[in-house]
Chain A
Amino acid sequence: MERIIEQLPRFFTEGNMLLLLEAAGLTLAMTFVGCLIGFGLAFVLVYLRQAPGLWALPLRLICIAYVEIFRRIPFLVVIYLVLFFIQTVSSDASLFTIAVIAICIYAIAYTADIIRGGLESVPRTQIEAAQAMNMSRLRTTFTVVLPQAWPVIIPPAIAFAVSFIKDTALVSQIGVFELTFRGKELNNQGFSGVLVYGTIAMCYFMISFPLSLLGQHLEKRLATPRGERRARKVRRA
């Protein structure tokens, strides 16, 4: 304890704090970019998977296999897989890119089911009505299905991304300069582990907590029936 107190002034220097801030930014950026791209790709995957007709059967099988396989592999293993795979094809990919790709691959597997559930929550009958009007599948998805599916998709998707912020700690294993990695560094410089990792923990909390509040707020907002939302807007105006 005395050691910690003695280290405090040396630990909370501007340099160290900037280092942590940068690392926090990197953690956030990695998660954000990875989850966003992963979410987009997951949508494409689900869209292809739901394609009608026999020709899409192999696609459907691939999609199901992808989701089932990657959900059963530890994230750390995915990271190593990506690292070694990328290194065999191109030697100059940055560690950040590798981390983002790994996050992407994992995010696809987890958000695909969220998106599928959302799309399937829209009554089939509305899709048939669109079909009978000659609306293409893509247009129907974007103008009829997705606007109604967002309230079902967004909250769990955000919850996933927020909880994933902390799981990205694992990419420190391959040497990306994110929070946990910096923690290890500072620890190696002789700072007390309790002090260092306590601070790192606070950082994770300070990133995740506001974001999960935002998620809850969105969830409440999206769950409000349109009529009420409109009435509120009118009252405000």
Chain B
Amino acid sequence: MPHLAVNDVRAKYGALEVLKGVTFSMGKGEVLALVGPSGSGKSTVLRTLVGLTPATRGQVEIDGTAIDYRSSGAVRAARDRMAIVFQQYNLFQNMDVMRNVTIAPIKIKRRPTREVMAEADRLLDMVGLAHKKDAYPDELSGGQQQRVAIARALALQPEILLLDEVTSALDPELVTEVLDTIRRLAREGMSMIIVSHEMAFVREVADQVVFMDQGEVIEVGRPSEMFEAPRTVRARDFFGKIIRH
């Protein structure tokens, strides 16, 4: 049984159908990469999974249990199991790093403060920012902010981590530090869905690549197959362009 199964999920922004039936599944500890041209609906898939964009149809299952996104209780349960990191980090600007990381585990998950603080220390150390825990987001570089955002998501102890173009807003020299963090999480067996344009990175860490275009899944495969021998014309076109660049 797959850890996460997404089945025929559809979503609309107003009248525009942005997801036209997306289906894929992933196992525990896997890294799944969603790739495709801009506007193909990759980010929307992640937003739908955490209930930020409502799905108009389809089904999402975690460990075989379907999540009914029409019920707010089920959406909360889904958010308990999946955490999302955004392209623009979206840190709370009025809170220092430590509070950004600990507020939800303490206030929402109601875990013991001391335990959460200790874990936050460990996570900030892992992302290499233990010395910045009293800093405010506007005192950090983009790369540092994004690493805090990753620590914040991990502090929620998600079963699946969703990463939405987490390096796209960063200056090139800051991309590496964030990718290193993700690489490390992948080694530690964190289940992740990554939306990324860093193709070399995707190829390196992903167990499975899902290629999307115009709201549809066009092709699913292992990175080596996908990058070297895409079966569909659209995938060939897309990967061909990237490799030429």
Interface residues of A (CB under 8 A from B): 123, 125-126, 128-135, 139, 143-144, 147-148, 225-227, 230
Contact at A128–B103, with CB atoms within 8 Å? no
Whether the Cβ atoms of B90 and A128 lie closer than 8 Å is: yes
30 inter-chain pairs at a CB distance below 8 angstroms, sorted by A residue, are A123-B90, A125-B86, A125-B88, A125-B90, A126-B93, A128-B86, A128-B90, A129-B84, A129-B86, A129-B90, A129-B91, A132-B50, A132-B51, A132-B79, A132-B84, A133-B79, A133-B156, A134-B76, A134-B79, A134-B80, A135-B107, A143-B92, A144-B92, A148-B94, A225-B138, A226-B136, A226-B138, A227-B138, A227-B139, A230-B136
B66 sits at the interface (CB 8 A): no
Chain A residues, CB < 8 A from B156: 133
B92-121 vs A: 1/0 string, CB under 8 Å?
111000000001100110000000000000
- Closest CB-CB distance, A56 to chain B, in whole Å? 15
Interface size class of B (residues with CB under 8 A): 20 to 34
- The reply to whether the CB of B166 lies closer than 8 angstroms to some CB of chain A is no
- What 0/1 readout, one digit per residue, does chain B (67-84) give for beta carbons within 8 Å of chain A? 000000000100110011
Taking CB as reference atom, which chain B residue is nearest A129?
B90
Contacts of B86 in A (CB 8 A): 125, 128-129
A225 to chain B: which residues have CB within 8 Å? 138
A-B contact count (CB 8 A): 55
Q: Per-position contact with A for B41-80: 1 when CB-CB < 8 Å, else 0? A: 0000000001110000000000000000000000010011
* B positions within 8 Å CB-CB of A: 50-52, 76, 79-80, 83-84, 86, 88, 90-94, 103-104, 107-108, 136, 138-139, 156
Known: A125-B86, A128-B90, A148-B94. A143 touches B103 (CB 8 A): yes
Give bound CA distance, A129 to B94, whole Å. Answer: 14
CB pair B139–A147 under 8 Å, yes or no, is no
- Measured CB to CB, the closest approach of chain B to A190, in angstroms, equals 59
Contacts of B103 in A (CB 8 A): 143
Q: Which residue of B lies closest to A227 (CB)?
A: B139
The residues of A that contact B136 with a CB separation of less than 8 Å are 226-227, 230
- Contacting residues, chain B, for A129 (C-beta < 8 A): 84, 86, 90-92
Report the separation of the CA atoms of residues A227 and B83 in the bound assembly, to the nearest whole angstrom. Answer: 29
